[in-house]
Structures are given as C-alpha cells and as structure tokens.
C-alpha cells in the first residue's frame, strides 16, 4: 500500500508540473484577456471530467495495449476508443457553451484551461500505470518526462482548437475534428509506452501544433480590447530613421512609454536595441504592446470579471452609496447642531 501511495504521488506531481508549465505558457501570457474565475471553473470541471475519461482510457485502451504487448492475447477495440473520444468532445462542447464562457467569447482560452486539467489527469493515470507495469530505467524516466510535459499541452491544444472552431460557428465540425485529434493522441501515447523511440516522431508534431495554437488563441481573444490597444500603440508618431540606422531612444515616444512601465533591465535592453540599429519602430511598438499585456494583466482580469458580472458592480455601488449616506447624515447632523437647526 505504501509503495502504491508513493507511485501515485510521483504520478500526481509529474502531472501537476505539466499543467503548471502549460498554464504559464499560455494563460499567463494572455492574462487580462479572459475572466480568471471562469478559467479556474474550467480547471475544476477538467479535473472531474479528466479523471473519468483517463480511467476509461486506461482500463480499455492503455492497459489492454500493455497486456497485448506482454501476452499477445488482448486486442484493443477501436470502437471503444472512438466512442470515448466522441463523448469527451461532446461534453467539452457543452462546457464551452456555458453562458459565462460565451459572454466573454473565451471559448479558446477556456478550452486551454479545461484541456490542461483533462490532460493532466490523463498524464497522472498513464504515469501511474507505467510505474506499476515497468521496472525503473532511464528510458522509463524519459517517457515519464515526455508524458508529464506533453499530455496536458496536447489535450489543451485540442480543446482550445475545439473552442476556436466553435467561435467560428463550426459546432459539429469542432466535435468531429476534436474527436479525431483525441483518438490520434491516445493512440500515440499508447504506442510510445511500448516503443519509446516514437517520441522522436511525436516531438516535431507537438512543436508544430503548439506553434499553430498561438495563432488561433491570439485570434480568438476578445477582439475589441486587443485591436483597440494595438491600434493605438501602432498609431504613435515616430520619425523616419531607416531600419538599420541607430535611433535615439530619448526622443522616441514609444521608448518613453516603455520606460515608465518596464523594469530597469528591460529598459536597458530596449535602449541597446535602439542604439545598435537593425530594429524598426514597429518592433519597439510590439514590445510596448506585449509589456502592457503583461504589466496590466491583473487590472484586465478585474475589468473582464466586472464586465461579465454586472451584478457585482451594482452590489459594490449599493455598498458605496450606503457608506456615503451614513457619512453625509453624520455631517448634516453636526452642521444642524452648530447652526441650531
């Protein structure tokens, strides 16, 4: 029992590492363009859903595949795989159709948070299974590392892409494509458990998919705020110094704005790029844009939350009005007592 508990803890920590890295890579970067409570709600649902999904995949796909490798007696039923992945895609569809998700057009970022949790649970179950099945070796360690890093991100890519397609109005297309991708990645992970050399072929596919996900996540972020902010920054007036020539950062409005927000090291780095030449003003504007996204992410989170929850604003206004009324009445009583009224 103690040994099983240790293996479970190793599997859980490994999965948590992968989820954390996936969150820092996307959710932190785009923080402020989505509602954080909604994202955490999707993580909660992802943990519940992912636990059920991963257990079924383990019992009906992963474990039979391992047994087949050992005994040649068990054959994996592909219908079960398609059925489980289809059910998962349908449930994800309904979770991303909730009002709190649709109101902020956050199907893609919500899908990423949901997918990280589902993939994290999948990674935990698979790692726990192979720790029980195989003796420890360097190859096993590499497989555990790859699973904990790639499984949460792989499911996050699939689920966020499903949300992206939903935003584009492709409801059934989103379900069918997500089902196909899920079947592919389950087969992929089941295969590499018995043939670790497969990681060599999986990694390039994951890198390409990860790069593509940046495009559709960025395109799916609420366009009003993103476009307005970027447009205003790109409209900042600059001089006509050629691209390759050194530029004076102290006379550039873009750099002056950047310096107000950035750290000293960030300012020094951008100043050096100005003075060394080879950087256009467009690059400086993009640097300012990305800095604003990062620096004011908490404020954007609060803004998005209150936009999507106007009742909270009304409650705050009522509380403020009651406090102001109490103070005003106290002042009026003092004034009346002074003038004898």
Residue 289, pLDDT score:
84
Pair (87, 191) in one structural domain: yes
The verdict on residue 41 lying in a domain is yes
The verdict on residue 284 lying in a domain is yes
Pair (93, 173) in one structural domain: yes
Pair (195, 238) in one structural domain: no
SS3 state of residue 97: coil
Residue 2, pLDDT score:
44
> Burial level of 252, CB count in 10 A (0-12/13-18/19+)?
buried
Pair (171, 281) in one structural domain: no
| Cα–Cα distance, 63 to 3 (Å, whole number) | 20
Q: Model confidence over 77-128: pLDDT tens digits?
A: 778 888 988 999 999 999 988 887 776 667 888 888 899 899 889 888 888 8
| Cα–Cα distance, 190 to 185 (Å, whole number) | 8
Per the structure, the complete domain to which residue 271 belongs is given by 226-295
Residue 90, pLDDT score:
92
Residue 37, pLDDT score:
77
> Burial level of 43, CB count in 10 A (0-12/13-18/19+)?
buried
List b or e across 291-328, with b for residues whose CB sees 16 or more CB atoms inside 10 angstroms: bbbeebbeebbeebbeebbeeeeeeeeeeeeeeeeeee
The verdict on residue 315 lying in a domain is no
What one-character DSSP code corresponds to residue 60? Answer: I
pTM of full prediction above 0.85:
no
Pair (234, 194) in one structural domain: no
Pair (178, 74) in one structural domain: yes
Pair (143, 158) in one structural domain: yes
The CATH number given to whatever domain includes residue 235 is: 1.10.240.10
The whole-number mean pLDDT for each consecutive block of 10 residues of the chain, a chain of 341 residues, reads 73 86 72 69 88 84 66 63 90 87 76 89 86 79 85 88 82 87 84 77 80 70 65 85 86 90 89 87 85 75 67 84 86 79 64
Q: State the total domains in the chain.
A: 2
User: Please, what is the Cα angle at 129 between 12 and 143, to 5 degrees?
Assistant: 80
Residue 1, pLDDT score:
43
């Amino acid at each position: 029992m103690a040994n099983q508990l240790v293996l479970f803890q190793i599997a859980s920590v490994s999965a948590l590492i992968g989820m954390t890295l996936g969150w820092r890579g996307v959710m932190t970067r785009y923080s402020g363009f989505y509602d954080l409570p909604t994202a955490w709600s999707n993580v909660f649902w992802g943990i519940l859903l992912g636990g059920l999904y991963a257990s079924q995949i383990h019992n009906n796909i992963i474990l039979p595949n391992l047994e087949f490798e050992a005994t040649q007696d068990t054959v994996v039923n592909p219908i079960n795989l398609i059925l489980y992945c289809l059910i998962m895609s349908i449930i994800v569809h309904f979770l991303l159709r909730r009002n709190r998700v649709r109101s902020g057009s956050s199907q893609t970022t919500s899908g990423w948070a949901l997918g990280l949790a589902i993939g994290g649970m999948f990674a935990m179950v698979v790692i726990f299974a192979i720790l029980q099945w195989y003796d420890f070796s360097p190859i096993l360690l590499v497989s555990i590392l790859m699973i904990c890093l790639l499984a949460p991100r792989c499911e996050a890519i699939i689920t966020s892409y499903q949300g992206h397609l939903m935003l584009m109005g492709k409801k059934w297309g989103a379900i069918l494509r997500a089902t196909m991708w899920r079947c592919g990645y389950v087969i992929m992970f089941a295969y590499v458990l018995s043939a670790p050399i497969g990681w060599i072929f999986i990694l390039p596919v994951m890198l390409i998919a990860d790069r593509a996900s940046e495009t559709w996540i960025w395109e799916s972020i609420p366009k009003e705020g993103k476009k307005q902010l970027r447009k205003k920054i790109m409209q900042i007036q600059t001089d006509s110094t050629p691209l390759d020539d050194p530029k004076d950062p102290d006379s550039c409005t873009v750099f002056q704005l950047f310096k107000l927000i950035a750290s000293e090291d960030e300012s020094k780095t951008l100043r050096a790029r100005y003075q060394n030449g080879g950087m256009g003003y467009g690059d400086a504007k993009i640097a300012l844009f990305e800095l604003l996204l990062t620096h004011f992410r908490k404020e954007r989170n609060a803004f998005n939350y209150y936009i999507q929850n106007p009742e909270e604003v009304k409650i705050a206004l009522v509380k403020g009005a009651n406090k102001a009324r109490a103070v005003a009445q106290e002042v009026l009583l003092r004034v009346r007592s002074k003038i004898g009224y």
